[in-house]
Copies of this chain bind each other. A is one copy, B any other.
Amino acid sequence: MSFDPSSLKFNEAGLIPAIAQDENSGEVLMMAWMNADAVEQTLRTRRVTYWSRSRQSFWVKGESSGHVQELVDFRVDCDRDCLLLVVRQTGPACHTNRRSCFYTGVREGEEVELMAPLP
């Protein structure tokens, strides 16, 4: 069946959450949002493009930092309301210069830093 971005379930703001996972390590790198145009652009260019809710504009990941995400595989969940992007990540995914945005663990009620910024 041919894939149509408009067949996805977007929220009231026209957005769908997209999880980025590293193709090699399997590490979950980040979660951000896409609208239908960002989905189409990501599939066409293979350069992961989100929708920035704060800037209300396309966000070609890594456009300014160089920390781009090349799309390796694009997956849709059973409810069609969440995306999983398997990516080839250049540099750190997180704006704090860490590999992943999920660098804070909660262990026995305390917040623990699990990952240092890259040098």
Q: Which residues of A are in contact with B by a Cβ distance under 8 Å?
A: 1-3, 17, 19, 21, 25-28, 30-31, 43, 73-79, 82, 84, 94-96, 98, 101-107, 109-111, 114
Whether A76 pairs with B106 at a CB distance below 8 angstroms is yes
Cβ–Cβ < 8 Å partners of A84 in chain B: 28, 102
Whether A101 pairs with B79 at a CB distance below 8 angstroms is yes
Cβ–Cβ < 8 Å partners of A109 in chain B: 2-3, 43
Cβ–Cβ < 8 Å partners of A82 in chain B: 31, 101-102
The residue among A2, A26, A31, A114 with the most chain B CB atoms within 10 A of its own CB is A31
Nearest-Cβ distance from residue A13 to partner chain B, whole angstroms:
10
